[in-house]
Amino acid sequence: MNFNKNRLLLLSSSFLCVAVLLLQACSIAKETNRDKLCGNWVSVNGEPDVVIFREGNVYKVTVFRRAGITRTLRPETFLLKEENGNLFINTGFRIDIAYNEATDVLTFSPHGDYTRVGVKK
């Protein structure tokens, strides 16, 4: 086969396009079904309890913390975000969240594991 400069350029650009399409297909991360996360969660390490709920099209995480001299419970709510298949909340610091569906356990990095209170929907 005789390849002139134009054919070689066309062939190499075709290979480049295919490679870009394959890379893009591989980089599309599977989104987590956040409806499975909704509910009340309690820490196995004594950290504050959390509630995950849906409000419209967004999911939120409410953390119940004891604050002040009287140590009264004070809720703080954050948006549950997903980036490249990774769940997290931004409290001023990024806190990553992983969900193990088989054991129904949430892991908040660095706060440890949380188990669901009550029955899973």
In a domain, 38, yes or no: yes
Q: What pLDDT, on a 0 to 100 scale, did the predictor assign at position 8?
A: 62
Q: What share of the chain is helix, strand, coil (3-state, %, to 5)?
A: 20, 45, 30
Q: Is residue 11 one of the residues assigned to a domain?
A: no
Q: DSSP letter at 19?
A: H
> Has residue 84 been placed in a domain?
yes
What's the pLDDT score for residue 29?
41
**pTM of structure:** 0.68
Domain annotation covers residue 102: yes
Which range marks the domain in which residue 66 is found? 34-117
Averaged in consecutive runs of 10 residues, what is the pLDDT profile of the chain (121 residues)? 66 55 45 84 90 95 84 89 92 93 91 84 49
> Domain containing 49 — which CATH number?
2.40.128.50
Residue 101 included in any domain: yes
Report pLDDT for 80: 96
Look at the chain and report how many structural domains it folds into. 1
End-to-end CA distance of the chain: 64
**Looking at the domain assignment, is residue 10 inside a domain?**
no
pLDDT of the residue at 110: 83
Integer Cα distance of 47 and 76 in angstroms: 14
Would you say residue 29 lies in a domain? no
Q: Cα-flanking dihedrals φ and ψ of residue 7, to 5°?
A: -65, -40
Which pLDDT value is given to residue 22? 46
* pLDDT of res. 17: 47
Residue 9 lies in a domain: no
**Could you tell me which residues are beta bridge partners of residue 15?**
none
Instruction: Report pLDDT for 111.
Output: 82
